[in-house]
Structure 1
């Protein structure tokens, strides 16, 4: 997303602080408020930008990604659903490449009457079963994406119907220097997808540093994964809800060079820490939808 997205022409005003604009071929909901700037594309209900006032952007978005209908956008927080990885086609599910409907924009939590520090804009989007989705997956469903965009950022996925699925909130976090980054709070056991090996039992306190291509599914993680970024002078806390796993990913130099939507050195600018439910299925039943949520929060580095 170009940095001037907040200066793009307004297609429609949705509220005092919320507008609909267009980046390439894609409509994007843009939030401009004294306490936060954010952007969510209607395709995929994908958070592209989140920036609390006075801070650098928290999410990474590729400079070379295409904003085209039906093509995945590289960066931000893609919603991987109703499957993760190569369990079906397209990879990571169809939810991230189909248009969602914007149901609600709630600005009641912003303004002079709001509690200082708690101001937020809330967005709700929905994707429902259709002829297009049935070509990928035979189930009837209704899945909601809810965003609370303020000093903290919360993303909730709610999948209703009668089926099993897997899912991940594939969060790309911008970092200052990949060599200095460490992620903790992951627990010990993990599956190494690069080496294609079964669960390891690493010491839980060590966390993970990035020394080449990294693709791990941590199967007994904690509820919070702090991402220590000394060069960025902050820690980003990723708080997980409804998860069974946390996926940690970075393509490394060789894979990045083969990816058209990642600059050759772009891999050094981000790490992915994904709130996930992949080692066991999410179970949705009538009257009991499945939920998965992540909350992002920044704190200054010690």
Structure 2
């Protein structure tokens, strides 16, 4: 998992603590339902391992240095208020901004943590609420007056890229590498650099079938307009080792085609069977 020894800072609740990983403060959940780690830089879920799984559900780069002001490679980055390189920094400023743990509720059966992003004049811009039980639900809400894009850029941990397949994707997408629409197979496997944006229904569900780990990761998108499917294959990628692409695949929950208006929300629910 995280390749840096943490420094304990503060106990927040019996199952919740504040710890420091190199330059970045993290919220660490150690609960009977499972374990999770969230970076306060970016409100970035780095790790989630429910109690019934032998492996982490999320992938995190083994060479990640955890530097302030540098986006973390892996987990579930929050790309907001824009997606891609249309402005600077790429994928928006939210993932390199400090968020606040603004609320939490912990019971025997689940834990809910809320993280808020404030502007320089202390006005709320966005909130992401994370609920951990036998599933993981991330709910993002946009508070700004101007429309915004968002992607919950989920990196999933897999045993090996070659035999996995992703079920439920449409058969047409926009290929970001060629900048052209194209027809693609479904289910879909990875044997090359893939960076595709799919238009989806509001409540689409996709499955990552991993025969080596013998598990099925179910990804249910709520109020989303797009799924982004990405694996860099052999392409050199910042923050990732040469072999990193072999154990990860991104199936993202996004609002790109239909940007968020004020108070709009988008969610993803992740389950493992």
Bucket of the pairwise TM-score, normalised by the shorter protein: over 0.9
Q: Find 1:224's aligned residue among 191, 205, 213.
A: 205
Tell me the distance in 2 between the aligned counterparts of 1:30 and 1:4: 14
Q: Find 2:117's aligned residue among 123, 127, 132.
A: 127
* 2:132 is equivalent to residue 149 of structure 1: yes
Structure 1, residues 231-258: CA drift from partner, whole Å, max 9, x if none? 11101001101100100000011x1xx2
Please give the secondary structure, in 2, of the residue aligned with 1:82. coil
Tell me the distance in 1 between the aligned counterparts of 2:110 and 2:69: 30
Which residue does the alignment assign to 2:45? Answer: 47
Which sections of structure 1, spanning at least 5 residues, go unmatched? 111-118, 134-139
Please give the secondary structure, in 2, of the residue aligned with 1:268. helix
* 2:67 is equivalent to residue 68 of structure 1: yes
Contact 2:59 2:156 in 1 (8 A): yes
Kindly tell me the number of residue pairs found equivalent between the two proteins.
271
Q: Find 1:279's aligned residue among 232, 241, 257.
A: 257
What TM-score, normalized by structure 1, do the two folds share? Answer: 0.86
Please give the secondary structure, in 1, of the residue aligned with 2:131. strand
Contact 2:4 2:21 in 1 (8 A): no
> Which deviates the most, 74-83 or 120-129?
120-129
Larger radius of gyration: 1
Tell me the distance in 2 between the aligned counterparts of 1:261 and 1:66: 8
Please give the secondary structure, in 2, of the residue aligned with 1:208. coil
Tell me the distance in 2 between the aligned counterparts of 1:3 and 1:230: 27
Which residue does the alignment assign to 1:116? Answer: none
Q: CA deviation at 1:196?
A: 1.9
Which sections of structure 2, spanning at least 5 residues, go unmatched? none
Q: Find 2:240's aligned residue among 247, 262, 275.
A: 262
**In the TM superposition, what are the counterparts of 1:191-210 in structure 2 within 5 Å?**
191-198=174-181, 200-202=182-184, 206-210=186-190
Q: CA deviation at 1:223?
A: 1.2
* 2:269 is equivalent to residue 295 of structure 1: yes
Which residue does the alignment assign to 1:114? Answer: none
Tell me the distance in 2 between the aligned counterparts of 1:265 and 1:92: 24
Structure 1, residues 22-42: CA drift from partner, whole Å, max 9, x if none? 111111000112220000010
* 2:40 is equivalent to residue 57 of structure 1: no
Tell me the distance in 2 between the aligned counterparts of 1:98 and 1:161: 16
| Cα RMSD, aligned residues only | 1.7
